[in-house]
Amino acid sequence: MDQKGYVISSLSFLLIIPAICIVATFVNMTHTGSQSQALSVQSDVVLSTTKDVEDNIPQTAEKMLQQTANDVIKSGHPLSDSRCTIKNSLQEEMDDLNEKYDVEGINVTCKIISVETDEDPFKIEINSTISVNKGNIIHKENNSQDISIIDPSYPLPDPLPFIQCKNFGGVTNTSTRIVYSSSLVNYLKNENISNAEAYLNATSPLIIKKCPYDPYISHGHSQNLTNFKNCIDNGYYHESNDGACYLCRLEGKAICPHYGMETFIIPAVSPNETVNSGPCGSDHVIFHDHYEGYSSIYRSNSTGYYKIFLENGHRSKYGLI
């Protein structure tokens, strides 16, 4: 091969070098792209898992609340610390639920920080920290969620009457009402409350349901007291500065420092109008405050007179004066 041929070969080699560089760059880009795609997939999995865990908390909390409340009404024993009890039960349940992610190579930690009374007495507040890790992706977030206590999928019974009347004969219940028989009379007599007999065979709502008649003054201002009658018939609860929140009801408290709720305890149908006064029928008054109310007849028929005992403060609140 002559000198000219060697020159041509050298030039060809010089031309090949850029091609090699281009191929190397392309291979590197392909590898980097694959890594980026893998990280993107991992990131999507981590975020979707976090959302799943977050969405599981409300339903799990409602289920644990219902189970806890049912345990209390069966035993009649108050919880010493309802917030701690529910927090621990919810933590155990979330730990069990999150184990399913292990087989997918996803490390999930959900720490329940606290269970608190919400500003809305028909909700409770759950505070938690969720941490999800897969491969090189770690995501952590703090959550504060408001959990309904009036979800019809998980109806919550009112534990307060079961606790308060346990030692006075106890109460029974239908699917919608608590029936006191003589237990409330015995309880009121033990508290030295006059006219306790007015509450023989009284009833009150079993399930926590928020009253739709707002403002509350519309109860009495409706035609023929329609709203007031419907409220009593349906067993609704009302927001109250004086009544206990749900978490404190689980502890057997009729009042508490939180913004709470109240409902009416309704005397049995009376054959006449002779009993004109008795303990005020708001449940926090019956089970703690103990002051007198005056008869308000809201319905009468051949069966007798349907009445409730309320003092002027509650009469004003519900538009009855």
Domain housing 248: 160-317
Q: Is residue 122 part of a domain?
A: yes
Of 96, 118, 148, the residue at which a domain comes to its end is 148
Q: Is residue 25 part of a domain?
A: no
How many other CB atoms sit within 10 Å of the CB of residue 18? Answer: 9
171 and 271 part of one domain:
yes
Q: Is residue 153 part of a domain?
A: no
Q: Is residue 2 part of a domain?
A: no
Contact 268, 202 (CB under 8 A): yes
182 and 272 part of one domain:
yes
Q: What is the pLDDT of residue 21?
A: 52
101 and 183 part of one domain:
no
| Counted domains in the chain | 2
Q: Is residue 154 part of a domain?
A: no
**pLDDT tens, N- to C-terminus, the chain (321 residues):** 555 444 445 555 555 655 555 544 444 444 444 444 545 656 889 999 999 999 999 999 999 999 999 999 999 999 999 999 999 999 999 999 999 999 899 999 999 999 999 999 999 999 999 999 998 899 999 999 999 999 999 999 999 999 999 999 999 999 999 999 999 999 999 999 999 999 999 999 999 999 999 999 999 999 999 999 999 999 999 999 999 999 999 999 999 999 999 999 999 999 988 889 999 999 999 999 999 999 999 999 999 999 999 999 999 999 999
Q: What is the pLDDT of residue 105?
A: 93
What is the rounded CA–CA span in Å between residue 303 and residue 271? 7
Contact 60, 90 (CB under 8 A): yes
Q: Is residue 209 part of a domain?
A: yes
131 and 171 part of one domain:
no
Q: Nearest to residue 219, comparing CAs of 298, 154, 132?
A: 298
pTM above 0.75, yes or no: yes
Q: What is the pLDDT of residue 189?
A: 98
Q: What is the pLDDT of residue 27?
A: 43
308 and 174 part of one domain:
yes
Of 121, 148, 175, the residue at which a domain comes to its end is 148
Q: What is the pLDDT of residue 273?
A: 84
Q: Is residue 31 part of a domain?
A: no
48 and 130 part of one domain:
yes
121 and 175 part of one domain:
no
Angle at 44 between CA 93 and CA 29, to 5 degrees: 150
Q: Is residue 30 part of a domain?
A: no
